[in-house]
A and B are shown apart, each in its own frame.
Chain A
Amino acid sequence: MAEVTLTIDGQTVTAPEGEKLLWAAEKAGIYIPHLCAHPDREPPFGGCRLCYVEVDGWSKPVTSCTEPVAEGMVVSTRSERVDRLVRSGFELLMSVHDLDCKVCPAKRDCGLRLVSRKTKVKLRSGTLPKLDRGLPIDESHPDIGMNPNRCILCGLCVWVCDEQVGAGVLSFAQRGLDTRLTTFDSEPLGAHDCPTDCMRCVDICPTGALYRKAPPTP
């Protein structure tokens, strides 16, 4: 495949034609915050809105997970506008995320903590009140637990379950702030026949919304 050359944060980068800016940057060791993107996820979801970058000559920041590289493109991953959008977007996400890190199984793997560490935006927002959703936790499945109050609706699990595994167990329901991760027909997770030992949704979840249940104490 043809390669294109572009500049990201002053660094010359080559990438295969059609690759999205986010992955070209990542391969070059340049961090762009992102929560909903996956290299195989086509078309890109574009839901978390944290991956904004500036492209020289363009009037507005664009999401790097959706924008393909182009020859001679000059990209900066930071600018006043980008920083403001990233801060605002992350604070919004955190204002609905149950911050129960002490008991959350995501621990060090947490995608939110990574974004916070890299962007220096605090996990607990100082400006926005916390919106409690109080959604029921589903522990009906033998291996997997689902706590939608930690979910940031990146949709990676829905995508992996539907398009990679082909099981179609997970989906979205409702609208507005009530939008939530749910299962097909809103049945308890345990009522579905997940493929044996498939933990793809748990593995891909950037938060502790889907987690391995602790083995039952005998």
Chain B
Amino acid sequence: MSDPVTQRYEALRAAADEACEPLIDPDAILVRVGTATCGRSAGALELETAFRESLDKHDIAGRVLQVGCMGHCYAEPMATLTSPGLPPTVYHHLNPFLAESLVKSHLRDTTPIYDFVLGGLEEHDLVPALDYLPRYGMEHRRLLARCGIVDPWSIQHAIAMGSYEGLARALCRPADDIVHEVERAGLRGMGGAGFPMWRKWAMARKFEAPRYLICNADEGDPGAFMDRTFIESDPHALIEGMIIAAYVIGADQGFIYVRAEYPLAVRVLENAIAQARELGLLGPNVMGSGRGFELEIMQGAGAFVCGESSALMASIEGHRGMPRVRPPRSAEVGLFGRPTVLNNVKTLSSLPYLLREGAEAFSAVGTERSKGTAVFALAGKTANAGLVEVPMGTTLRDLIFTIGGGIPNGKTFKAVQIGGPSGGCLPDDQLDVAIDFDALDEAGAMMGSGGMVLLDEDNCMVETARFFLEFTQRESCGKCTFCRIGTKHMLDLLTDIVEGRGTPEHLDKLVTLSEDVEAGSLCNLGKTAPNPVLTTLKYFRDEYEAHINESRCPSCECNELFAYYIVPEKCARACDACVGSCPVEAIFTNRKRLKVIDQDLCVKCNACLTACPPDYDAVVKISPLADLPPQEPRPDAGKGGE
């Protein structure tokens, strides 16, 4: 092959391979510390310093590298150690003291510290491979393949690990050809609606240039963090994907719209873009192809509605982030009035793999109408909070229990909330639903952009619906009647129910309003806002009814409907743990030396329940309040303070 693009790519690859030799050499000593936001919040930067200091102290010539996140956010801070005699080994739950021990034991003496080993990256007799973890048998890592392994600050490392090969291949083909390839692969948008990517391309290409390309990295769903983690871990996958998409639609300018609350992601991207420009991957002549493409980062102020595509474009233009009516579609009239294609981070980042490996490889996993893999951010009541990537078609049950490790603290699963404020809550009997755009839709949830929040027996479903409604109401842009005012009335009705003022009419009104807001709102924020209410009403109606008919919150989460109570038969008398834990001095000792809660003072902070030693387990929650046994008044009640 001798065309200029291939030549240029091969030169880049050769230079990168050479520059990265020390990172690939199996006999070199290398410590990779996961320093994405999840790692940092668990103390990864301190861990990194500790590794450097220990290596110095023990006079070991090794390198310490910052990498992103492997998806095991629950196990941060993590590090991967490479040294002669052992496979690259992933350690979890580290701290600076362990860094010192690991340098001595693992790096110097070739003895792993097994208590903290998550797994090896290669087969080896001494360290069980990561692949043997049950979750790895179900996961299928494509987008996440390099996350936590590649150095996000180094384009050389990315290239040495395969970045920009897909681009080189794409640039050697006619754009039409790539549209067909992506159509055959069946790649659908991962930002929410699952719109086929090729169709947006085909539409935009019909309208005259200049055209724009936008990456949506606004990620506003509560509990979602996959786009952030992904950018922090493998930014070049996104940049490469955007250059490919820009080539196909003939855009010479692109934007990445990131929320300003993601400072690390922004810094990683800025650095990656500068490096790509330096190597001629961005700029007037992309990889010697004669085509130009420039990429700019736009920071949003973190309004949820700015994730909606037309509001996002208004925001880039400097206007208030308000969605506009369609048609025209943005593929025809988008940013600055020009044809524009907008995609989610994960959609664009899928392109390098797709073009490197081809449509057949891409669609080799997945279901009939949802091809490839799906990335989720697991949060809430899950043992393994973090990122997972599974083939489409995996059941929710496998994802939640095998990969996610189930519900922690011996609690029982109640519901999974998928798709954020626009999504729905599915109960246990829906867990055999496959992860697939259409199957999830049918169940009342939606794929959304990958947020997955788990709820257990302590979560009240009415309160959950209220929480999401409060969010959408606060984040409504205020433009249209149904979303601005309708969601407020819905929120008020839900607040009445969780505070014990609900009546059967509340439910009727809630349903009517939900239907109207869904049918009448201008954009998808409003149209989907009722989903959390409608799905909880569908699957957990009994909880609504308990609140309304019996003033009872079955999960004892709604403060107005339950009380803490110390069971006299269980109270150890001599123990003062609960008394000391109470921040408002609501617990007193009666004449029989039993502890009693002054209900007028109690602020329901749960401290006494946690403080009471498991041997006694004397503090319980009681709902409805009518079931609270009669309690004696405080002996000094009425006397006032001293």
Contact = CB atoms under 8 A, between A and B. Distances in A.
Interface of A: 43-50, 52, 60-61, 63, 66, 81, 84-85, 88-89, 92-93, 95-96, 127-129, 131, 152-153, 155, 171-172, 174-179
A172 B519 contact: no
- Size bracket, chain B contacts: 20 to 34
Given A47-B522, A49-B521, A95 B477 contact: no
A119 B15 CA distance: 74
Interface string B451-480: 000000000000000000000011111111
B484 A172 contact: no
Contacts of B277: none
A189 B478 CA distance: 22
Q: Give the 9 A-B residue pairs with the shortest CB-CB distance, closest first.
A: A179-B478, A46-B325, A92-B485, A88-B516, A177-B488, A66-B325, A47-B479, A176-B476, A176-B474
Given A61-B519, A63-B325, A171-B320, A128 B481 contact: no
A175 B478 contact: yes
A43 B484 contact: no
Contact of A47 (B303, B481, B487, B488): B481
Contacts of B519: 60-61, 81, 85
Q: Which of A47, A48, A60, A95 has its CB near the most chain B CB atoms (within 10 A)? A: A47
A95 B485 contact: yes
Given A49-B521, A61-B519, A176-B473, A44 B325 contact: yes
A194 to B, nearest CB: 21
Contacts of B486: 88, 92
B474 A95 contact: no
A89 B477 contact: no
Interface string B322-366: 101100000000000000000000000000000000000000000
Interface-centre pick from B474, B484, B488, B509 (highest chain A CB count, 10 A): B484
Given A153-B478, A175-B475, A176-B475, A49 B485 contact: no
B108 interface: no
B489 interface: yes
A175 B303 contact: yes
Nearest to B486: A92
A171 B482 CA distance: 20
Which of B476, B478, B488, B521 has its CB near the most chain A CB atoms (within 10 A)? B478
A155 B486 CA distance: 18
- Chain A CB count within 10 A is highest, among B303, B521, B522, for B522
A46 B522 contact: yes
B560 interface: no
A92 B483 CA distance: 10
B485 A47 contact: no
Nearest to A60: B519
21 contacts: A43-B324, A45-B479, A47-B479, A47-B480, A61-B519, A63-B325, A92-B485, A92-B489, A93-B481, A95-B485, A131-B488, A152-B481, A153-B478, A153-B484, A155-B479, A172-B320, A172-B322, A175-B477, A175-B478, A179-B476, A179-B484
A89 B488 contact: no
Contacts of B476: 175-177, 179
Contacts of B325: 43-46, 63, 66
B520 interface: yes
